[in-house]
Amino acid sequence: MEGLWVRGVLLIFLLPCPVGSQSSSIPDQQWWTEPSEAPSQHQAARATEEQKADGAQEGLPPQPRCVRCCPPAEKRFYPQYQPVPQINMTILKGEKGDRGERGMQGKFGKTGVAGSRGHAGPKGQKGSMGAPGERCKSHYAAFSVGRKKPLHSNDYYQTLIFDTEFVNLYDHFNMFTGKFYCYIPGIYYFSLNVHTWNQKETYLHIMHNGAEVVILYAQVSDRSIMQSQSVMLELREQDEVWVRLYKGERENAVFSDEYDTYITFSGHLIKYSGDP
């Protein structure tokens, strides 16, 4: 049994292999049934063809023949690589164009952390003196006047006139009329000091635009004394303030002499009305 099986196998390998166009008609599955058997079948077919060729042409050198035993390999097209030409951009660069319009302002970024305080710089030079301001814009007003002559009231109402000027800023107090004229509106402070005459009555008013504001009074006495009165007034521009004697049933008088000043009247601006 083993000898018959071996002969059968040899006969199969010794069968002639068709050449030419007939090889293409044989299905590929007959030649390549198993991947492990494909090389042995190919070698057997090639040996048979060589023996036939040797017998047909005796005496000639053997000529190898190519027997197609497998399908041709697929042809793939591989394009030839060609390097990309390099272009010199400096040659193609044109002239610089005009500047475009300014774009819209972007959004503000977040506020950063405040830095530390820097060092103090050197002291600068003193600047030049500015131009003098207008007189009407000066927010100062003050006066202080006195009287060295005694006075007896002959009329019922008599303005007290002063003959000594201590301070009269900007001449707001008129020495001839005995009145203070307000040029700077605001709050003012006024004070009046007099010396009484013994055996005579002393009766005076501090006046504001014809109205009595405060009174300084001293009854008849055997001795003379110093009396004082003070007041704060809110004045408007062109207001007037002065001192007036009033004569009643008794004689009204104030004492003074040529060597000492016993009667004084003073006033000054405390706060300008335009200040906050």
CATH topology of domain 140-272: Jelly Rolls (2.60.120)
Residue type (1 letter), 213: V
pLDDT above 90 (res 174)? yes
Summarize the confidence of residues 89-114 as an average pLDDT. Answer: 79
> Which of 26-35, 154-163, 212-221, 228-237 has the highest average model confidence (pLDDT)?
228-237
Summarize the confidence of residues 186-209 as an average pLDDT. Answer: 91
65 vs 254: CA distance, rounded Å: 167
Q: Which residue has the tokens 């009396």?
A: 227
pLDDT above 80 (res 182)? yes
pLDDT value at residue 41: 58
Domain range list for the chain: 2-56, 140-272
Would you report the helix, strand and coil content of the chain in percent, each value rounded to 5?
Answer: 20, 30, 55
Residue 175, token pair as written in the block: 């020495």
- Give the pTM: 0.50
Radius of gyration of the chain (CA): 69
Per residue in 221-276, pLDDT tens? 788 888 999 999 999 999 999 999 887 666 788 888 888 898 999 999 999 988 87
